[in-house]
Amino acid sequence: MRTVEVLLDEAADLAVREAWRRLADAGLPSQARHSSPTNSPHLTLAACPELTAPIRWELAEVAAALPLPVRFAGVVRFERPTSVLAWALELDSALADLHDQVWDAVVSDSPRETLNPLHDPAHWSPHITLGRSRRAGAFTGRRIPEVLPALPLSTQLTTLRSYDTETGAVEVLGPRP
């Protein structure tokens, strides 16, 4: 599976990494424990079985819109198959347009049943994951706001990339950092 993600500017990247560290120090699930060298704060836009030539052409056009300013909207928790703590991003028209273009690119050359329905624009919740656990309710009833650093007001989405879940390889799709 190949993800399509966008990275944050340096200041927001550092703020997210600080949140990861604080969660880990508090004994809570944290992305800081994900030791892969490719682990970076990011916003996942979609995932597909492979990045075919038609998808790549469309993603090159999407990447031309970067950097894109976005605003943080607060802390959110998701209870899916995993328990997730994240910083939400405001879904303004520019971010919605970026996501729609990525989704359209992925849908254009992927079997629909292979796509994660949570990335579909009708269900997508833009967020930066801070911690994740397979234990349901891992963040429920915790004093999370006291642990986290101040929420950044905004960031720039800077670089479109793809992560290959099978090989662990990261590919920058554009623009180059």
pTM reported for the whole predicted model: 0.93
Distance CA 129, CA 60 (A): 25
Q: Is beta strand 83-89 parallel, antiparallel or unpaired with respect to 68-79? A: antiparallel
Reported residue count of the chain is 177
Domains of the chain, first to last? 2-170 (3.90.1140.10)
- Taking only the tens place, the pLDDT of each residue in 111-141 is 989 999 999 999 999 999 999 999 888 887 7
For residue 143, what pLDDT is reported?
Answer: 74
- Ranges under pLDDT 70 in the chain: 142, 177
Give me the pLDDT at residue 142, please.
Answer: 67
Can you tell me the distance from the alpha carbon of 163 to that of 166, in angstroms, rounded to the nearest whole number?
Answer: 9
Write down the pLDDT at residue 49. Answer: 96
Closest C-alpha to 135, from 86, 88, 85 = 85
pLDDT of residue 177: 63
